[in-house]
Amino acid sequence: MVKKQNKDKNGGQEKSRAVERPITATNELFARFNTTQKVIDDFVNEIIRHNRFRMYSSSNARHIIDDRSRLIDLYEMAIDQDAHIRSVIETLESQIIGDRYSLGTYNKNGDFTIDKEQTEKIQGTVFENAIRGIMEAKMYGYSLLEVFPEIDPYTKKLAHIKSVERRNVLPNQGIVLQRAGDWNSKRWDITSEWYRDRYIMINSGGLGLFSTTTPLVLAKKFTFGSYVNFSHTYGMPIIHAKSNATSRDSKQRMADSVANAVNDRIIVTNLDDTIDIKTMSISNSERIYLGIIEIVNRDISNVVLGSESMAGATQSYVGSTKAHQDIFRDRIEVYRKYIENHMNEQVIPRLKKFGYLTGDVQFKYNKTLEMSMDDKINLLNVLEKSYTIPEEQILTEFGMIVEKKDFSSGGGAGGTSSDGSRRMSDDEYYQRYGKHREETDSDTQNKKIIHNYISKLRGQLPTVETRGLE
């Protein structure tokens, strides 16, 4: 805090009052980063230390009892150094970030009506920081969001939402330290009134999902290093040279020639000399290394996404794909519901208090019917028999710019119908629908076919889910 001198209304005598300042906007936070050379013992020690201090009450504490800075180092080491967990997180973000959510209101029947004007206010990179911060609270165990009411003069949207450096945050104590791990440095009590309006603590109540994945990454890191050494030792083929030479010098010259041939690809030998290349077949040792790496990758995918197949693994039995997709969708729904709850309980009310949002709007993820490309094409073929498909819809679904065909020169029974619209010729009808006019079902029958097809998609096909993702 800084002290500001003000004069009172009656003239003259100055009084000092404390003026609250943002934590990260005007004050630099200092944190130590150490994400190298971490081993499983470091993780075990941090878990033990954390559990030791859980028995102490955070109320009226006059010292640090909830420092997780070294644990955060371990978490970020795993993310920075393991490609698989990075890929898994990117997959998760692809399902929760983007134009997948809206602001709107519920009527008395429970129907949700989107408010397009206010929805535009929460779209863009700044607001995505809030969504990402809430998601990371499940990963790390907590996030502290800094939300200010200032408006960006260029975008006319909220200018500032960011996550406070976690190493400086004591989540259970409600304290931010200017210097991580140092109680004697400047401190901010985010439970006070001014900070409570502008700072949102998202606390999962545990150590986050990374407390499960990090030891797996550490084990994989050690295994992968051993596998690299194994590959260097046994991966290169052995060149076996045979010679009739009896002197040590002659054998040495032969060895030198073979060694140079590895790079030069040329070797000259005597008539009686032979060169044989011994290749190594896959060994049980190599299978052990690969097996551990595969198990770790699978478990990481299962912990975060609910299914290893959604992170690139293949399934060997019929029906496994649908089962894994269902689990994945359910898991994403859990993440989305978690984000919706924190948005509607903490973020949106503050934006209303700032005057940035108005009315009784709520945050909600969109729900759409998800299909594979083949299912979309099949459904399109069915729908076009009774309905006109807009060109822009084809562009959206398939990325193709199309134009309607001109059948005006076609033969057959063309003409004008009773309502004044042009009737398709027989040739036009055949080209469009692939069958003759007399084979046409009635509109009622077409609608029945469409209904049955959609029902089949919902109930049988593995890539279709009415409650699925966008």
pLDDT at position 281: 64
Task: List strand residue ranges (DSSP E) for 89-186, in order.
Answer: 101-106, 112-114, 142-151, 158-163, 169-170, 175-177
Instruction: Tell me which of 24-33, 230-239, 304-313, 432-441 is least confident.
Output: 432-441
Higher pLDDT, 63 or 179: 179
Alpha carbon distance 149, 49 (integer Å): 39
Integer Cα distance of 232 and 237 in angstroms: 10
Band of residue 330 on the pLDDT scale cut at 50, 70, 90? confident
Start-end of H helices in 97-192: 116-121, 125-140
The kind and range of the H/E element at 429 are helix 426-433
- pLDDT for 127-163, tens place per residue? 999 999 999 999 999 999 999 888 988 988 888 899 9
Model confidence at 5, in pLDDT bands (50, 70, 90)? very low
DSSP secondary structure string, 114-132?
Answer: E-HHHHHHT-SHHHHHHHH
Query: What are the tens digits of pLDDT across the range 66-80?
Result: 889 999 999 999 998
C-alpha to C-alpha distances, 177 to 43, 139, 189, 444, nearest whole angstrom:
23, 22, 9, 70
Angle at which helix 125-140 crosses helix 83-96, to 10 degrees, equals 130
Percent of residues, the chain, with pLDDT higher than 90: 22
Which of 12-16, 364-368, 385-389 shows the lowest per-residue confidence on average (mean pLDDT)? 12-16
Q: What is the chain's mean pLDDT, rounded?
A: 77
Q: Is the pTM of this model over 0.75?
A: no
Q: Which long-range contacts (CB under 8 A, 24 or more apart) does 377-384 make?
A: 378/453, 379/453, 379/454, 379/457, 382/449, 382/450, 382/453, 383/450, 384/432
C-alpha separations of 399 from 99, 249, 378, 402, 404 in Å:
18, 71, 17, 10, 16
170-206 confidence digits (pLDDT tens): 998 889 999 988 888 888 999 888 888 899 999 998 8
Please indicate whether residue 43 or residue 357 has the higher confidence score (pLDDT): 357
Q: For position 285, what pLDDT does the model report?
A: 73
- Per residue in 222-266, pLDDT tens? 877 776 766 666 666 677 777 777 778 777 777 777 777 777 667
Strands (E), 311-446: 362-365, 415-416, 422-423
Higher per-residue confidence, 21 vs 86: 86
User: What percent of the chain stands above pLDDT 70?
Assistant: 67
Strand order in the sheet with 199-203: 158-163, 142-151, 199-203
DSSP letters for 347-359: IHHHHHHHTSS-T
More confident residue, 283 or 389: 389
Q: Is the pLDDT of residue 87 over 80?
A: yes
β-bridge mates for residue 147, sequence order: 161
Count Cβ neighbours within 10 Å for each residue of 238-253 and write b for 16 or more, e otherwise.
eeebebeeeeeeeeee
